[in-house]
Structure 1
Amino acid sequence: MQLLSIIKTRKISPEQLFMLSVLAVNGGNYLYNLILGRLLGPEQFADAAVLITFLLVLSFVAMTFQLVTAKFSVVFESNVFSSFISKVYKNALLVGISLGVLIIGFSNQLQAIFNTSSSSMFVIFGIGVPLYFIMSVNRGVFQGKKAFKSLSITYQGEMLSRLLITLGLIFLFNIQSSVVIAIGILISFIFGLYPFKTKHISFKMTFINPAHSKQIRNFFILTAFYELTQIIINNSDILLVKHYFESYEAGLYASLALIGRIVYFIAWMFVMLLLPTVIQLKKEGKDTAPILFKYVGYIATIALIIVLTCAIFPKLMITLLFGECYLPMAPLLWKYAIATGMFAVSNIFAYYYLSLDKYVPVIISGVFGMLQMVLVIFYHESLEQVVHMQIIAMILLLIIQITFFKLNTKNSLI
């Protein structure tokens, strides 16, 4: 009761509220994955991990629309903003429908490539793709306008509905199937739409002057390229392991990836706050570097704590989170955490420059994302080797990003 009274009397800023909300959402998503891992076991969890990875890939693709919306929600006002947002919704829906049709059409081929037990899970997932793109544009408006309460609600609605519906179906009907997981994901997209601002949608012809169109197009292409690198770095390892290894090993690796990526998911809340803040400071002609240093410091500290915890208590962490059947991954846990920690810090640099419309760090991320994938394709004799290849790629990426920042800062002072 005393804690509640302190929370009521102490004013929490919208940014702090959003950060707490993101922590809750990430915690809920983690709980969702952990329960699935325990219920399904390594082999069946491997199928679930493919769907979860597809969801992460979708989130990165749709994030292009969200970040573009967020940026220009800050830049544009009144009628220009209305025309812009209406056009973004139309394009997002078109892309969402196209991707959904492709996933449904190639569901059998996807089943063969990733060695899954069903193609139906891809069909159900594909149906929900257009909804996710609409949801992402809606979130972009909230993010750009710093409506963090509404932004928090949409993330919480998606997470809670997915968790409760999926687990409810599994326990009520005793069905441990990837199709049930796909249904839970599809329904969660509907809940994630709330609160939805229908006033921003118009099917009338919209006009945006050529100068603004060029500005939007350039940022969209840059963001899309960077989100592609995010997809490659974040998800290619799980999909490649599912392709090259047996289901049991792929399920073990999926548990390793989930635990090791804790630092990345925590870092994401800082990225969500970083982009609109940097754009606003730039618009006001203020120095943006202190914000970068602040968030890099946060992420580096969190990454170090997680790596040390994984190194000192690997068996305890895996046993508590997934169960004893996943213990073979214990020796690799701290190594995987190193790779994701370095990627999380590198990511802050890349998003910082993305906010400033600078292309080089984005291209750097793309190059090293491809390098990571190529290394895993050529060197995958064991799961340990797969992890080592990622560490090599992420060390090089972080060194290059820091070097670019120093050179860019030095040149701007001359």
Structure 2
Amino acid sequence: MQVLSMLKSRKISPEQLFMLSVLAVNGGNYLYNLILGRVLGPAQFADAAVLITFLLVLSFVAMTFQLVTAKFSVIFENETFANFVAKIYKHATIVGLGFGALIIIFAKQLQIVFNTSSSSMFTIFGIGVPLYFLMSVNRGVFQGKKEFKFLSITYQAEMLSRLVITLGLIFLFNMQSSVVIAIGILISFGFGLIPFKFKNLKFKNILAIDATQSKQVRSFFIITAFYELTQIIINNSDILLVKHYFDSYDAGLYASLALIGRIVYFIAWMFVMLLLPTVVQLKKEGKATAPILFKYVGYIAGIATVIVIGCALFPKTAITILFGDSYLAMAPLLWKYALATGLFAISNIFAYYYLSLDRYIPVVISGVFGMLQMGLVIFFHDSLEQVVHMQIIAMSLLLVIQISFFVFDSKLKQ
């Protein structure tokens, strides 16, 4: 009773509420993927994995708009902020329509490149792309203003709607195709717009912001877009390359491995979401920013260590519980993939930290090693094990270089 009264008396901060929400969203997305893996089997799950990977790629592209919006929602105020948000909504809509049109136009070619059973799934996905860009700007406003309650709701609405609609169609109508998954993703984008601040959305009579501020926004946008491109390469190129080089069965097995191994990265993402506005605010106030970096690096390193050890000790148990016996061939590689992802997650914190401070060398470093990872997989893919080993090599080097840069940069400031 005493413990309960203590819990009731303690207020949960908005940041803690958001962290709990992100854990719930990641859990829901994991459940979504796990059920698809079990219901569809390795061969059909390979098609689903391509769509899920396209969704992740889209999220990284749209994240450029979200991070830019988040940062300048902290810096800009009043009328400048209103004009900035209206302008970025306009650009996000144009880019979203462009990307969506390209996916629809080249749907047949995408089917051939990724060896999928249908081109319709790409067409349906493309229709929803503009909605995702609007959703990302909306989230950027919430993130920058630290309105974590609303930010939590939009993530929850997207995840829950996709989970319920997709699985409902599969189980109620016994429809087990990639088109069903695409429909679920499309509808979830609409739900992800909840809650939406319509007052910020206007395409006419947008006043220009100051030339210096506009240059600042443009510079940050370009470097963020470049960094998100490196994120796409590092996070998703392996799955798409495996789908290209290997048969559907092996690609499905690898997709299950990637899903389990990436747990640490998805957990790390909630810290990144909190890191950017916090570092920008501390810099604005003239306070030290390094302690918040150490704090989050410590959290991610600890979580990554636990997950890698767990995957090394109980690989068969983890795969059997999550995906079933059909995927057991991947058990020996599980801890290795988790290690590669853990190394990347820690490196990612350093890159986003410097991105928040308008320091771009670590971003360029990530880009170089993202290309290195992709190049290694292209040239060395005799087996799935070799693909994983190439990622460990690339991500180990990336982390060493990022830490070395931080140490060198810190000594220069002394």
Separation of aligned partners in 2, 1:204 and 1:119: 37
TM-score (norm 1): 0.99
The residue aligned with 1:377 is: 378
Residue of structure 1 equivalent to 2:132: 132
Offset of 1:73 from its aligned partner? 0.1
Aligned-partner Cα distance in 1 for 2:252–2:265: 20
- Matched residue, 1:338: 339
The amino acid of 1:385's aligned partner reads Q
- In structure 1, the partner of 2:21 is 21
Structure 1 segment 199-278 matched on structure 2, within 5 A: 199-206=199-206, 207-278=208-279
- By how many angstroms is 1:384 displaced? 0.1
Distance 1:3 1:362 in 2: 46
Matches within 5 A, 1:7-406: 7-206=7-206, 207-406=208-407
TM-align CA RMSD = 1.0
- State the SS of the aligned residue for 2:286: coil
Equivalent-residue separation in structure 2 for 1:326 and 1:8 (angstroms): 44
Give 1:202 deviation, angstroms: 1.7
Measured in 2, the distance between the counterparts of 1:344 and 1:146 equals 23
4+ runs deviating over 3 angstroms? 1-8
Unaligned runs of 5+ in 2: none
Amino acid corresponding to residue 214 of structure 1 in structure 2: K
- CA shift for structure 1 position 404: 0.2
Q: In 2, distance between residues paired with 1:388 and 1:66?
A: 33
Partner amino acid for 1:115?
A: N
Q: CA deviation at 1:410?
A: 0.4
Distance 2:202 2:3 in 1: 46
Task: Pick closer, same or farther for the CA change 1:141–1:331 going to 2, 3 Å.
Answer: same
Residues 323 and 6 of structure 1: CA distance in aligned 2, closer, same or farther (over 3 Å): farther
Report deviation, 1:8: 3.4
The whole-number CA distance in structure 1 between the counterparts of 2:287 and 2:210 is 28
Name structure 1 gaps, 5 residues minimum: none
> Residue by residue, what CA displacement relative to the aligned partner does 1:95-149 show, whole Å, maximum 9, x if unpaired?
0000000000000000000000000000000000000000000000000000000
Shift of the 112–8 alpha-carbon distance from structure 1 to 2, 3 Å rule, reads same
Instruction: Encode CA deviations 1:42-75: one digit per residue, 9 max, x unaligned.
Output: 0000000000000000000000000000000000
Distance across 1 between alignment mates of 2:245 and 2:7: 51
Q: Which whole-Å deviations, capped at 9, do the CAs of 1:25-54 have from their partners, x for residues lacking one?
A: 000000000000000000000000000000
- Give the Cα–Cα distance (whole angstroms) in 1 for the partners of residues 24 and 355 of structure 2: 27
The AA in structure 2 aligned to 1:218 is S
Q: What CA distance in whole angstroms lies between the structure 1 residues aligned with 2:8 and 2:269?
A: 27
CA distance in 1, matches of 2:410, 2:71: 23
CA displacement, residues 210-238 of structure 1 (integer Å, 9 cap, x when unaligned): 10110000000010000000000000000
Deviations 1:163-191 (A, max 9, x none): 00000000111010000000000000000
User: Amino acid of the residue matched to residue 301 of structure 2?
Assistant: A
Query: Residues 327-366 of structure 1, C-alpha deviation per residue, up to 9 Å, x if partnerless?
Result: 0000000000100000000000000000000010000000
Instruction: State the alpha-carbon separation in 2 of the partners of residues 3 and 28 from structure 1.
Output: 29
The AA in structure 1 aligned to 2:413 is S
Structure 2 distance, partners of 1:332, 1:31, is 22
Matches of 1:311 and 1:60 in 2, distance apart? 30
Counterpart CA distance in 1 for 2:42 and 2:140 is: 36
Amino acid at match of 1:391: I
1:9 deviates by 2.7
CA positional deviation for 1:2: 8.7
- Give the AA of the match of 2:163: L
- Deviation at residue 4 of structure 1 after TM alignment: 6.9
- Specify the code of the residue in structure 1 equivalent to 2:219: N
Measured after TM superposition, the shift of residue 10 of structure 1 is 1.9
Matched residue of 1:168: which SS? Answer: helix
Task: Report deviation, 1:319.
Answer: 0.1
Q: Percent identity?
A: 79
Q: What's the offset of the Cα at 1:209?
A: 1.4
Distance 1:232 1:4, change over 3 A: farther
Distance 2:251 2:81 in 1: 46
Question: In the TM superposition, what is the alpha-carbon distance from 1:205 to its structure 2 partner?
Answer: 3.0
Which amino acid letter does the alignment assign opposite residue 82 of structure 2? S
In 2, Cα distance between the equivalents of 1:335 and 1:247?
22
CA distance in 1 between counterparts of 2:209 and 2:273 reads 27
Deviates more, 1:236-245 or 1:7-16: 7-16
User: What is the letter of the counterpart of residue 92 of structure 1?
Assistant: A
Displacement of 1:204 in angstroms is 2.0
